[in-house]
Structure 1
C-alpha cells in the first residue's frame, strides 16, 4: 500500500500535486493524447513506466497526437518500474474498468478528485495500464483505491486517453470548486453596489407611477416582485445606469407629454 504520510509540496494546488502515470503503454500516439488531455485541464506531471513503444516522447505519432501539449510530452519522465513512478506520492489510484476480487476500495473519478483536492497534504497519482491488458493485479493491490469510471455496462471500454481525460476533467472541477461557472467567460463589469441598486429601484418606481403602470396608493406587490426578478441577474453598474436611463427617458417623455424614444 502506498504510504499516507504527509509529503511536502511546494504548491498545494491539485494542478501541481496530481501525477499521471502510464504503465507499459504500447502506442506512442496514446502517450501524446494523454499529454494533450492533461494540458487541456491544466495538469503537467506525466510519468511513463517501461513504455513498450520506442522513444515515446519524440515519436512522430506522439508529437502529432499531443498537438499543442508538446511541453507536457517532452517533460515526461520515463522510469523502469511503478515504485520509481510513485516516488514522492502518498496516495495512488489505479484506473481500471475491470474490478478485482482483492482490490482496494472502489471509487468514482469524482470521489477521488474531491478527496485529492480537499486533502492538501496528499500528493496523489492516477495510474493507467496498458491499452490491451490493463494494469497487473500487483499494481492495483498496491494502490490506495481503484477508480472505476461509470460507463455503459454493455460497452464500458474506454481508450486510454479518454479515461485520462475523464480523470483530468473531474480533477479540474474539484480543484476549482466554486471558482468556475458559466459567468467566467465573456465581458464582466463591476457589480453594482446596494446603494446603486436601491437608487435604481426608486427611479424605476417613479417612472412606473408616471406612466400609470403602478398605482402609488395601491402598489400591491409589483416592486417586491421586480426586485426579486433583478436580484437573480447579478446587476452590474453599467446595467443599473442603463435602467436608470430608461426610467429617466420615461419620466421625461411623460412630463413633455411625448412618446418615449425607442433608440
Structure 2
C-alpha cells in the first residue's frame, strides 16, 4: 500500500476494554480482514462445511462480517467490491460462504523490530508460538472428519488365473448360498477335474450366477462336464459320450437338479412333491449312473 513499511497489531485489539464497542471504520475493517487471515494453510469448519484455506485467506459469511463490523450486509458487500476492484483482495463465494484472499499478504507480515526491542521480541515469540499452536490444533480438528473418511476401495489385482478364480469365484458361490468351506472344496475338485483350467471353472461359476441357478454345484459340474445348455438348464449327452467316474458324477448331478425342479413345481402347484427316495427310484438315469 505504501513504501513506509508495516507495523504489528495485536489481534486482541477488537476486544480490548479501553475501546468503545462501536461500528468499525473502513480502515478498521481492512485491518480486521488482515488479522483474520490464516497464518498458514489449514481447514476451517463453518457449520457443515469444511473449507480449505491457504495462507492469507479468510472464510466468512457477509452476515458474520456485518455483525463483527456492526454494518449491514449491503455495506459489507459494497466495501468488498471496492477492495476487489483495486486488487487489494480477491473473493470467491460458495454456499453463502465468502473466501477472501488478501493480496500481498506476505508483504503485510514483514515486521522489522528495532535492535533495542530484543527483550520484547523474546516475550512476543512465546505468545506467537502459543497462537501458532492453537491454529495448528484448530486445523487438525477441522480436518479430522476428512481424515476419518473411509478410503476408496480399489479394484483387486490378480497375479494369474488361479488367483482370480479364488478371489472372484468364492464370493460368487457364497452369494449363491454355498458355505465358504464348501465353496473352496468344490473349486478344488473342479480344478482337479478340469486339469487346472482356472478360467473354465471361473467362467462356469459366473454363468451359474448369471442364470441364478437354484442348485449351483450340480449346475457348474454339468457345465464343466460338457453338457448342452438349453434355456439356462444343462442336460446330459448320450451315455456313449460318458464313461467311468465322469458319467457317475454327471448322472448324480442331473438327477439332483431334476428333483429340485420337481419339488419347485410341486410347491407352486400346492401339491406334495413326494418322497425324495421315491424320486430316486423312478429316475432311470440316477440308477444308470450308480451302475456305471
TM-score, length of structure 2 as denominator length: 0.26
Q: Which has the higher contact order (CA 8 A, sep 6+)?
A: 1
Task: Judging by fraction of residues, say which structure has more helix.
Answer: 2
Larger Rg: 2
